Amino acid sequence: MKKIIHFSKAYIPCVILSCAIIALGIVSVFTRGINFGIDFKPGLIQEVRIVPPAISLTYEGASSVSVETASSGVTLVITGAADNDTIPFYYGQNQTISEMVASLNSVDGVKATALISGSESAIGLFANSEVSSVLSKTPLSLYKAGEKPLATVDEVRDSLSSLEGISVKATGTGNDIAFQIRAGDDGKDKEVRNTRRNQIYNALSAKFGKDNIAIVKTDFIGSNFSKGLVLGSIVLVLATLALICVYATIRFKWDLALAAVLAIIHDALIMVAFVTFTQMEFSSITVAAILTIIGYSINDTVVVLDRIRENIKICNLKSFKDIWDLSQSEMISRTIITTVTTLLAVLSLYFFTTGSMKDFALALAVGMISGVYSTIYIAGSFACLCRRNWKPSDEVKQTV
């Protein structure tokens, strides 16, 4: 017979550890709170950079010319009755500000002017998302982070201190620093989006100068939609747990079904605790990660329960705890191979992506490890507790 790993010896300390982590997570929810994303927290959220303008662009001509910025360079999109063209200016061929300005000036009607030293690198140019990208006689600025940031997060908070319901968080480091500004919506002002946006812009402009304010991204969600999304997410998770419980009860017995459900509830609570500890943004992406982990965890648990059903029929062991240890020992290599293989893909997403996808990958990684742990120690401890008086004769006429 294959060597049996006695997982059951660690049931009590593991249950205590899980309870402690979950309890700390609950305390953290009430003390530190959850960093709700814009999906769940009504109001305005802006990503703002406070940097000097690097290039000024104007256009005089019959066509319509718009400017687009990307990680690869700057692109001019020309549309008109007789002329349609897309002209890219890659950083590889325009490495400095002076080179980029010269290339932009080669387009008929476009006038580009350097506002900083022409010897500086052109890499990283971006535009203000709040300003139309269509060029005209009115100058349009392209921005670039300098060697030294123009503002710190404390200075930004101080400039917005007169506004109620405003929170500021720094993202990025060094000269790539940006500021995530949240403004709440209590549902009383129908024009709250424009009102709050103007308040923030005016306050920042008064402190740092309007020419140095670049809005990278703006999102807004109303209070009614946010409440509906929160309720819908809760119902979705609870419905998933209920359906899994029904499925497991039909396939196995009530005690093993409840053990499986407790394991996935444990995984969901561990995820919530992790989110509060790290202050990761809790968004619809996080809910998707939780549901993904619930499916992953129940699959692992069901595989072990299937092996238990088989071993009860063929093994002459005296206690259910021995049956569980044997079954888990037989499946541990499969669990490790499956988890490690999936983790490689998840870690690739974590290291090679940014933003919400990076958070999704991190949440999946934590949830997958928790899922393996909960199958062995949480589901196992509860099932063994329920069947502590189990005898082989109990299964003579019954199946698991």
Query: What pLDDT, on the 0 to 100 scale, is given for residue 222?
Result: 62
In this structure, is residue 149 part of a structural domain?
A: yes
pLDDT, mean over the chain: 83
In this structure, is residue 1 part of a structural domain?
A: no
Cα–Cα dist 89/79, whole Å: 17
Query: What pLDDT, on the 0 to 100 scale, is given for residue 74?
Result: 93
Q: What is the pTM of this model?
A: 0.62
Boundaries of domain holding 384: 7-39+225-395
Domain count, the chain: 2
Q: What is the pLDDT of residues 198-229, one digit of tens each?
A: 888 899 999 998 888 988 888 777 655 556 66
- My answer on whether 197 and 54 are in the same domain is yes
- My answer on whether 181 and 83 are in the same domain is yes
- My answer on whether 21 and 47 are in the same domain is no
What letter would DSSP give residue 282?
B
Neighbours of 157 (CB within 10 A): 16
Phi and psi (nearest 5°) for 340? Answer: -65, -40
- My answer on whether 207 and 331 are in the same domain is no
DSSP helix/strand/coil, 353: coil
- My answer on whether 22 and 90 are in the same domain is no
Q: What is the pLDDT of residues 388-398, one digit of tens each?
A: 766 655 554 44
- My answer on whether 260 and 295 are in the same domain is yes
- My answer on whether 55 and 163 are in the same domain is yes
Q: Which among 191, 221, 251 is the end of a domain? A: 221
Most confident of 44-48, 93-97, 176-180: 93-97
Q: What is the pLDDT of residues 256-276, one digit of tens each?
A: 888 888 888 898 889 889 988
Q: Which among 202, 221, 240 is the end of a domain? A: 221
- My answer on whether 144 and 105 are in the same domain is yes
What letter would DSSP give residue 119?
T
Is the pLDDT reported for residue 35 higher than 90?
A: no
- My answer on whether 209 and 239 are in the same domain is no
In this structure, is residue 2 part of a structural domain?
A: no
- My answer on whether 253 and 334 are in the same domain is yes
